[in-house]
Structure 1
Amino acid sequence: MTLRPPLRIPGITEIPPSAPGMRIGLFGGSFNPMHDGHRLVMEETLRRLELHALWVLVTPGNPLKDNSDLPPLENRVRAARAFVTDPRVRVTGFEAARGFSYSWQTIDFLTTTMPDRRFVWIMGADSLADFHRWQRWRDMAAKIPIAVYVRPGAAHRALASRAAATLDYAQLDETDAALLARCQAPAWIYLQGRQSTLSSSAIRASRNLR
Protein backbone atom coordinates (compact mmCIF):
# COMPACT_ATOMS: atom_id res chain seq x y z
CA MET A 1 0.00 0.00 0.00
CA THR A 2 1.40 3.41 -1.01
CA LEU A 3 1.12 5.98 1.79
CA ARG A 4 1.99 9.65 2.05
CA PRO A 5 3.42 11.00 5.32
CA PRO A 6 0.35 11.52 7.55
CA LEU A 7 -0.79 15.12 7.86
CA ARG A 8 -3.06 15.76 10.82
CA ILE A 9 -4.62 19.21 11.11
CA PRO A 10 -7.14 19.76 13.95
CA GLY A 11 -10.56 20.62 12.61
CA ILE A 12 -9.54 19.73 9.05
CA THR A 13 -8.59 16.04 8.84
CA GLU A 14 -11.21 14.40 11.08
CA ILE A 15 -13.78 11.96 9.67
CA PRO A 16 -17.30 13.49 9.71
CA PRO A 17 -19.79 12.07 12.22
CA SER A 18 -22.25 9.45 11.02
CA ALA A 19 -24.54 6.70 12.28
CA PRO A 20 -25.23 3.08 11.32
CA GLY A 21 -27.55 2.71 8.36
CA MET A 22 -26.78 6.12 6.88
CA ARG A 23 -26.48 6.43 3.10
CA ILE A 24 -23.40 8.57 2.48
CA GLY A 25 -22.05 9.91 -0.80
CA LEU A 26 -18.28 10.26 -1.20
CA PHE A 27 -17.27 13.06 -3.55
CA GLY A 28 -13.51 13.34 -3.91
CA GLY A 29 -11.33 15.88 -5.66
CA SER A 30 -8.74 18.61 -5.35
CA PHE A 31 -11.45 21.31 -5.28
CA ASN A 32 -9.05 24.00 -6.44
CA PRO A 33 -11.40 25.79 -6.18
CA MET A 34 -14.88 24.41 -5.45
CA HIS A 35 -17.48 26.01 -7.74
CA ASP A 36 -21.15 25.96 -8.73
CA GLY A 37 -20.61 22.92 -10.94
CA HIS A 38 -19.60 20.93 -7.87
CA ARG A 39 -22.60 22.32 -5.98
CA LEU A 40 -24.90 21.15 -8.76
CA VAL A 41 -23.53 17.59 -8.60
CA MET A 42 -23.90 17.54 -4.82
CA GLU A 43 -27.49 18.80 -4.94
CA GLU A 44 -28.53 16.35 -7.64
CA THR A 45 -26.89 13.28 -6.11
CA LEU A 46 -28.19 14.03 -2.62
CA ARG A 47 -31.71 14.27 -3.99
CA ARG A 48 -31.76 11.51 -6.59
CA LEU A 49 -29.76 8.93 -4.64
CA GLU A 50 -31.75 9.78 -1.48
CA LEU A 51 -28.59 10.20 0.58
CA HIS A 52 -28.54 11.17 4.23
CA ALA A 53 -25.17 12.89 3.87
CA LEU A 54 -22.44 13.70 1.39
CA TRP A 55 -18.78 13.86 2.35
CA VAL A 56 -16.56 16.07 0.22
CA LEU A 57 -13.11 14.46 0.34
CA VAL A 58 -10.54 17.14 -0.37
CA THR A 59 -7.51 15.19 -1.54
CA PRO A 60 -3.88 15.90 -0.64
CA GLY A 61 -3.17 15.66 -4.39
CA ASN A 62 -4.28 13.81 -7.52
CA PRO A 63 -1.74 11.08 -8.43
CA LEU A 64 -2.56 11.60 -12.13
CA LYS A 65 -1.91 15.36 -12.12
CA ASP A 66 0.88 17.83 -11.44
CA ASN A 67 0.32 19.03 -7.87
CA SER A 68 3.23 21.44 -7.68
CA ASP A 69 0.96 24.52 -7.63
CA LEU A 70 -1.77 22.98 -5.47
CA PRO A 71 -2.70 25.22 -2.50
CA PRO A 72 -2.33 23.73 0.99
CA LEU A 73 -4.98 21.23 2.03
CA GLU A 74 -6.20 23.39 4.91
CA ASN A 75 -6.82 26.35 2.59
CA ARG A 76 -8.85 24.23 0.17
CA VAL A 77 -10.91 22.60 2.93
CA ARG A 78 -11.73 25.96 4.53
CA ALA A 79 -12.64 27.50 1.17
CA ALA A 80 -14.91 24.58 0.33
CA ARG A 81 -16.60 24.77 3.74
CA ALA A 82 -17.25 28.47 3.21
CA PHE A 83 -18.79 27.64 -0.17
CA VAL A 84 -21.09 24.85 1.05
CA THR A 85 -24.49 25.78 2.49
CA ASP A 86 -26.30 22.43 2.78
CA PRO A 87 -25.89 21.01 6.32
CA ARG A 88 -25.90 17.47 4.90
CA VAL A 89 -22.60 18.19 3.12
CA ARG A 90 -19.46 17.80 5.23
CA VAL A 91 -16.05 18.80 3.90
CA THR A 92 -13.01 16.91 5.18
CA GLY A 93 -9.36 16.31 4.42
CA PHE A 94 -9.24 13.07 6.41
CA GLU A 95 -7.36 11.15 3.70
CA ALA A 96 -4.25 13.20 4.53
CA ALA A 97 -4.33 12.12 8.18
CA ARG A 98 -4.28 8.49 7.06
CA GLY A 99 -1.54 9.05 4.51
CA PHE A 100 -3.73 7.86 1.64
CA SER A 101 -2.59 8.54 -1.91
CA TYR A 102 -5.31 6.69 -3.83
CA SER A 103 -9.10 6.49 -3.73
CA TRP A 104 -9.11 2.71 -3.34
CA GLN A 105 -7.34 3.17 0.01
CA THR A 106 -10.10 5.50 1.17
CA ILE A 107 -12.83 3.11 0.09
CA ASP A 108 -11.08 0.11 1.60
CA PHE A 109 -10.69 1.94 4.92
CA LEU A 110 -14.26 3.26 5.14
CA THR A 111 -16.00 0.05 4.08
CA THR A 112 -13.85 -1.97 6.49
CA THR A 113 -14.13 0.29 9.53
CA MET A 114 -17.78 1.29 8.96
CA PRO A 115 -19.45 -1.73 7.34
CA ASP A 116 -22.86 -0.64 8.68
CA ARG A 117 -22.86 2.55 6.57
CA ARG A 118 -23.95 2.52 2.92
CA PHE A 119 -21.35 4.46 0.96
CA VAL A 120 -21.68 5.56 -2.67
CA TRP A 121 -18.76 6.89 -4.71
CA ILE A 122 -19.66 9.96 -6.78
CA MET A 123 -17.71 11.04 -9.85
CA GLY A 124 -18.20 13.13 -12.96
CA ALA A 125 -18.44 11.58 -16.41
CA ASP A 126 -14.99 12.95 -17.24
CA SER A 127 -13.59 10.84 -14.39
CA LEU A 128 -15.33 7.70 -15.66
CA ALA A 129 -13.63 8.23 -19.02
CA ASP A 130 -10.25 7.90 -17.28
CA PHE A 131 -11.31 5.55 -14.49
CA HIS A 132 -9.28 2.67 -15.94
CA ARG A 133 -6.13 4.70 -15.20
CA TRP A 134 -6.93 4.85 -11.47
CA GLN A 135 -4.95 2.46 -9.33
CA ARG A 136 -7.02 -0.64 -8.45
CA TRP A 137 -10.15 0.74 -10.06
CA ARG A 138 -11.67 -2.72 -10.38
CA ASP A 139 -11.31 -3.19 -6.62
CA MET A 140 -13.09 0.11 -6.07
CA ALA A 141 -16.00 -0.93 -8.25
CA ALA A 142 -16.20 -4.27 -6.46
CA LYS A 143 -16.46 -2.63 -3.03
CA ILE A 144 -18.77 0.34 -3.45
CA PRO A 145 -21.65 1.44 -5.72
CA ILE A 146 -20.73 4.29 -8.07
CA ALA A 147 -22.81 7.21 -9.31
CA VAL A 148 -21.52 8.95 -12.44
CA TYR A 149 -22.92 12.42 -13.14
CA VAL A 150 -23.04 13.82 -16.67
CA ARG A 151 -20.45 16.47 -17.60
CA PRO A 152 -20.60 18.71 -20.70
CA GLY A 153 -18.74 17.12 -23.60
CA ALA A 154 -17.78 13.97 -21.66
CA ALA A 155 -20.79 11.69 -22.24
CA HIS A 156 -19.45 9.86 -25.30
CA ARG A 157 -15.96 9.31 -23.87
CA ALA A 158 -17.40 8.15 -20.55
CA LEU A 159 -19.91 5.66 -21.91
CA ALA A 160 -17.43 4.34 -24.49
CA SER A 161 -14.65 4.03 -21.92
CA ARG A 162 -12.84 0.88 -20.89
CA ALA A 163 -14.33 1.03 -17.40
CA ALA A 164 -17.89 1.45 -18.70
CA ALA A 165 -17.46 -1.52 -21.03
CA THR A 166 -15.93 -3.67 -18.29
CA LEU A 167 -18.72 -2.83 -15.84
CA ASP A 168 -21.55 -2.86 -18.39
CA TYR A 169 -23.21 -5.82 -16.67
CA ALA A 170 -23.46 -3.88 -13.39
CA GLN A 171 -25.09 -0.69 -14.74
CA LEU A 172 -28.49 0.21 -13.31
CA ASP A 173 -31.18 2.12 -15.13
CA GLU A 174 -31.28 5.80 -14.26
CA THR A 175 -34.80 5.40 -12.89
CA ASP A 176 -33.36 3.19 -10.14
CA ALA A 177 -31.12 5.93 -8.74
CA ALA A 178 -32.77 5.84 -5.31
CA LEU A 179 -31.86 2.14 -4.99
CA LEU A 180 -28.14 2.51 -5.70
CA ALA A 181 -26.98 3.05 -2.11
CA ARG A 182 -28.80 -0.12 -1.08
CA CYS A 183 -27.24 -2.23 -3.86
CA GLN A 184 -24.38 -4.63 -3.43
CA ALA A 185 -21.32 -3.67 -5.48
CA PRO A 186 -20.52 -3.82 -8.29
CA ALA A 187 -23.34 -1.48 -9.24
CA TRP A 188 -23.24 1.87 -10.99
CA ILE A 189 -25.52 4.40 -12.57
CA TYR A 190 -25.14 7.19 -15.11
CA LEU A 191 -27.14 10.26 -14.16
CA GLN A 192 -28.29 12.79 -16.74
CA GLY A 193 -29.47 16.19 -15.56
CA ARG A 194 -28.55 19.82 -15.06
CA GLN A 195 -25.06 20.66 -16.25
CA SER A 196 -22.51 23.38 -15.67
CA THR A 197 -19.65 24.33 -17.97
CA LEU A 198 -17.58 25.62 -15.05
CA SER A 199 -14.27 23.93 -14.29
CA SER A 200 -11.66 24.56 -11.63
CA SER A 201 -8.88 24.80 -14.21
CA ALA A 202 -10.78 27.46 -16.19
CA ILE A 203 -11.45 29.45 -13.02
CA ARG A 204 -7.76 29.35 -12.09
CA ALA A 205 -6.78 30.40 -15.61
CA SER A 206 -9.16 33.38 -15.53
CA ARG A 207 -7.71 34.48 -12.20
CA ASN A 208 -4.20 34.37 -13.59
CA LEU A 209 -5.21 36.64 -16.48
CA ARG A 210 -6.35 39.42 -14.15
Structure 2
Amino acid sequence: MKIGLYFGSFNPIHIGHLVIANYIVEHSDLDQVWFVVTPHNPFKKKSTLLNNYERLEMVYIATKEYTKLKPCDIEFNLPQPNYTINTLVYLEEKYPNHQFALIMGEDNLKGFHKWKNYELILENHHIYVYPRISDGKIETQFNNHEKIHFIDAPIMELSSTYIRNAIKEGKNIEPMLPQYVWKYLDEMGFYR
Protein backbone atom coordinates (compact mmCIF):
# COMPACT_ATOMS: atom_id res chain seq x y z
CA MET A 1 0.00 0.00 0.00
CA LYS A 2 1.27 3.48 -0.88
CA ILE A 3 0.67 6.07 1.84
CA GLY A 4 1.01 9.84 1.53
CA LEU A 5 2.05 11.52 4.77
CA TYR A 6 0.52 14.96 5.27
CA PHE A 7 2.29 16.55 8.25
CA GLY A 8 0.85 19.48 10.17
CA SER A 9 -0.27 20.87 13.49
CA PHE A 10 -3.91 20.85 12.24
CA ASN A 11 -4.77 23.54 14.77
CA PRO A 12 -7.58 23.14 13.69
CA ILE A 13 -8.00 20.89 10.66
CA HIS A 14 -10.23 22.67 8.11
CA ILE A 15 -11.89 21.97 4.78
CA GLY A 16 -8.79 23.16 2.89
CA HIS A 17 -6.75 20.31 4.40
CA LEU A 18 -9.44 17.80 3.44
CA VAL A 19 -9.82 19.15 -0.11
CA ILE A 20 -6.06 18.92 -0.74
CA ALA A 21 -5.67 15.44 0.80
CA ASN A 22 -8.72 14.07 -0.99
CA TYR A 23 -7.65 15.58 -4.32
CA ILE A 24 -4.18 14.06 -4.04
CA VAL A 25 -5.39 10.59 -3.05
CA GLU A 26 -7.94 10.61 -5.91
CA HIS A 27 -5.55 11.98 -8.58
CA SER A 28 -2.34 10.10 -7.84
CA ASP A 29 -1.11 6.56 -7.23
CA LEU A 30 -1.49 6.91 -3.45
CA ASP A 31 -3.88 4.50 -1.72
CA GLN A 32 -4.34 6.58 1.44
CA VAL A 33 -3.32 9.88 3.00
CA TRP A 34 -2.39 9.89 6.68
CA PHE A 35 -2.72 13.21 8.53
CA VAL A 36 0.37 13.15 10.77
CA VAL A 37 -0.44 15.40 13.71
CA THR A 38 2.86 16.94 14.78
CA PRO A 39 3.53 17.58 18.46
CA HIS A 40 4.23 21.11 19.61
CA ASN A 41 6.60 22.77 17.15
CA PRO A 42 9.24 24.86 18.93
CA PHE A 43 8.71 27.59 16.29
CA LYS A 44 5.00 27.98 17.09
CA LYS A 45 3.63 29.85 20.07
CA LYS A 46 2.45 27.33 22.63
CA SER A 47 -0.45 29.54 23.75
CA THR A 48 -2.33 29.17 20.45
CA LEU A 49 -1.72 25.43 20.08
CA LEU A 50 -4.26 22.98 21.45
CA ASN A 51 -2.80 19.87 23.05
CA ASN A 52 -1.80 16.96 20.83
CA TYR A 53 -4.80 14.77 21.63
CA GLU A 54 -7.37 17.53 21.08
CA ARG A 55 -5.90 18.18 17.62
CA LEU A 56 -5.76 14.43 16.89
CA GLU A 57 -9.42 14.14 17.94
CA MET A 58 -10.38 16.86 15.44
CA VAL A 59 -8.47 15.04 12.66
CA TYR A 60 -10.23 11.81 13.63
CA ILE A 61 -13.64 13.55 13.56
CA ALA A 62 -12.85 15.19 10.19
CA THR A 63 -11.64 12.00 8.47
CA LYS A 64 -13.87 9.25 9.90
CA GLU A 65 -16.26 9.38 6.92
CA TYR A 66 -13.42 9.04 4.36
CA THR A 67 -11.92 5.58 3.88
CA LYS A 68 -8.77 6.91 2.20
CA LEU A 69 -7.97 9.60 4.81
CA LYS A 70 -6.63 8.59 8.24
CA PRO A 71 -5.41 10.33 11.41
CA CYS A 72 -1.89 9.45 12.57
CA ASP A 73 -0.28 10.10 15.97
CA ILE A 74 3.06 8.41 15.17
CA GLU A 75 5.15 11.43 16.18
CA PHE A 76 3.62 11.75 19.67
CA ASN A 77 5.97 9.10 21.07
CA LEU A 78 9.10 9.92 19.09
CA PRO A 79 11.93 11.98 20.64
CA GLN A 80 11.58 15.75 20.26
CA PRO A 81 12.45 17.78 18.36
CA ASN A 82 11.47 15.33 15.67
CA TYR A 83 12.80 15.26 12.14
CA THR A 84 10.86 13.91 9.16
CA ILE A 85 13.67 11.48 8.30
CA ASN A 86 13.32 9.87 11.77
CA THR A 87 9.55 9.51 11.36
CA LEU A 88 10.01 7.90 7.94
CA VAL A 89 12.57 5.40 9.27
CA TYR A 90 10.27 4.53 12.18
CA LEU A 91 7.23 4.07 9.90
CA GLU A 92 9.19 1.85 7.50
CA GLU A 93 10.19 -0.41 10.41
CA LYS A 94 6.65 -0.50 11.82
CA TYR A 95 4.91 -1.00 8.44
CA PRO A 96 7.36 -2.90 6.20
CA ASN A 97 4.67 -3.63 3.58
CA HIS A 98 3.83 0.03 3.00
CA GLN A 99 5.59 2.61 0.84
CA PHE A 100 5.60 6.13 2.26
CA ALA A 101 5.59 9.41 0.35
CA LEU A 102 5.49 13.01 1.58
CA ILE A 103 2.82 15.57 0.81
CA MET A 104 3.87 19.19 1.10
CA GLY A 105 2.95 22.64 -0.08
CA GLU A 106 5.07 24.33 -2.71
CA ASP A 107 6.21 26.81 -0.03
CA ASN A 108 7.74 23.92 1.99
CA LEU A 109 9.55 22.57 -1.06
CA LYS A 110 11.37 25.91 -1.34
CA GLY A 111 13.08 25.22 1.99
CA PHE A 112 13.39 21.45 1.57
CA HIS A 113 17.15 21.65 0.94
CA LYS A 114 17.51 22.79 4.59
CA TRP A 115 15.80 19.68 6.02
CA LYS A 116 17.88 17.12 7.90
CA ASN A 117 18.97 14.36 5.47
CA TYR A 118 16.80 15.73 2.67
CA GLU A 119 18.93 13.84 0.09
CA LEU A 120 18.14 10.56 1.82
CA ILE A 121 14.42 11.41 1.93
CA LEU A 122 14.47 12.08 -1.83
CA GLU A 123 16.46 8.94 -2.53
CA ASN A 124 13.88 6.72 -0.81
CA HIS A 125 10.56 8.57 -1.04
CA HIS A 126 8.38 10.38 -3.54
CA ILE A 127 7.10 13.86 -2.75
CA TYR A 128 3.71 15.15 -3.84
CA VAL A 129 3.58 18.93 -3.97
CA TYR A 130 0.39 20.98 -3.96
CA PRO A 131 0.35 24.62 -5.09
CA ARG A 132 0.52 27.49 -2.60
CA ILE A 133 0.74 31.18 -3.36
CA SER A 134 4.17 32.15 -2.04
CA ASP A 135 7.29 34.10 -2.87
CA GLY A 136 10.70 32.75 -3.71
CA LYS A 137 11.99 30.16 -6.14
CA ILE A 138 12.21 26.41 -5.93
CA GLU A 139 15.79 25.10 -5.85
CA THR A 140 16.91 24.09 -9.35
CA GLN A 141 17.75 20.60 -8.13
CA PHE A 142 14.04 20.00 -7.39
CA ASN A 143 12.76 21.08 -10.81
CA ASN A 144 12.01 18.07 -13.03
CA HIS A 145 13.15 15.67 -10.30
CA GLU A 146 11.83 12.15 -10.96
CA LYS A 147 10.58 11.76 -7.37
CA ILE A 148 8.89 15.15 -7.03
CA HIS A 149 5.35 15.29 -8.41
CA PHE A 150 3.50 18.58 -8.72
CA ILE A 151 -0.22 17.99 -8.21
CA ASP A 152 -2.64 20.35 -9.89
CA ALA A 153 -4.80 20.59 -6.76
CA PRO A 154 -7.00 23.62 -6.12
CA ILE A 155 -5.19 26.47 -4.37
CA MET A 156 -6.67 26.77 -0.89
CA GLU A 157 -5.98 30.12 0.75
CA LEU A 158 -7.58 29.09 4.02
CA SER A 159 -5.39 28.89 7.10
CA SER A 160 -5.77 27.58 10.63
CA THR A 161 -4.39 30.92 11.86
CA TYR A 162 -7.22 32.78 10.12
CA ILE A 163 -9.78 30.38 11.62
CA ARG A 164 -8.40 30.77 15.17
CA ASN A 165 -8.40 34.57 14.88
CA ALA A 166 -11.91 34.65 13.41
CA ILE A 167 -13.25 32.48 16.25
CA LYS A 168 -11.59 34.79 18.79
CA GLU A 169 -13.30 37.76 17.09
CA GLY A 170 -16.69 36.02 17.22
CA LYS A 171 -16.98 35.53 13.44
CA ASN A 172 -18.99 32.68 11.96
CA ILE A 173 -16.48 30.36 10.29
CA GLU A 174 -18.65 27.25 10.47
CA PRO A 175 -18.61 26.62 6.66
CA MET A 176 -14.77 26.48 6.73
CA LEU A 177 -14.66 23.44 9.01
CA PRO A 178 -16.01 19.92 8.69
CA GLN A 179 -19.42 19.95 10.42
CA TYR A 180 -18.47 17.75 13.38
CA VAL A 181 -15.15 19.55 13.89
CA TRP A 182 -17.06 22.83 14.17
CA LYS A 183 -19.45 21.24 16.66
CA TYR A 184 -16.55 19.88 18.75
CA LEU A 185 -14.68 23.22 18.71
CA ASP A 186 -17.80 25.13 19.65
CA GLU A 187 -18.76 22.77 22.50
CA MET A 188 -15.21 22.81 23.90
CA GLY A 189 -14.89 26.59 23.57
CA PHE A 190 -11.54 26.33 21.78
CA TYR A 191 -9.74 29.45 20.45
CA ARG A 192 -12.12 31.95 22.13
- Please confirm whether the aligned pair reaches a TM-score higher than 0.5, indicating the same fold: yes
**Among residues 88, 95, 99, which one is paired with 2:75 in the alignment?**
95
Structure 2 alignment gaps of length 5 or more:
171-192
Query: Which amino acid counterpart does residue 106 of structure 2 have in structure 1?
Result: A
Residue 33 and residue 74 in structure 1: after superposition, are their counterparts in 2 closer, same or farther (change >3 A)? same
Given that 1:131 and 1:137 are in contact with CA atoms closer than 8 Å, whether structure 2 keeps it comes out as yes
Counterpart CA distance in 2 for 1:92 and 1:166 is 31
Counterpart CA distance in 2 for 1:129 and 1:202 is 23
**Among residues 109, 116, 120, which one is paired with 1:128 in the alignment?**
109
1:150 CA displacement: 0.9
Structure 1 alignment gaps of length 5 or more:
1-21, 172-186
**Among residues 21, 28, 34, which one is paired with 1:55 in the alignment?**
34
Aligned pairs for 1:1-210 (under 5 A) are 22-63=1-42, 65-69=43-47, 70-84=49-63, 85-99=65-79, 101-151=82-132, 153-154=133-134, 157=136, 160-162=137-139, 165-168=140-143, 170-171=145-146, 187-210=147-170
Counterpart CA distance in 2 for 1:88 and 1:192 is 19
TM-score, normalising length: structure 1: 0.72
After superposition, the CA RMSD in angstroms is 1.9
1:147 CA displacement: 0.3
Counterpart CA distance in 2 for 1:161 and 1:61 is 27
Count of aligned pairs: 167
Query: Which amino acid counterpart does residue 112 of structure 2 have in structure 1?
Result: F
Q: Which moved more, 1:91-100 or 1:75-84?
A: 91-100
**CA displacement, residues 133-181 of structure 1 (integer Å, 9 cap, x when unaligned):** 3333222222211000112x13x63xx223xx2233524xxxxxxxxxx
Percent identity over the alignment?
A: 26
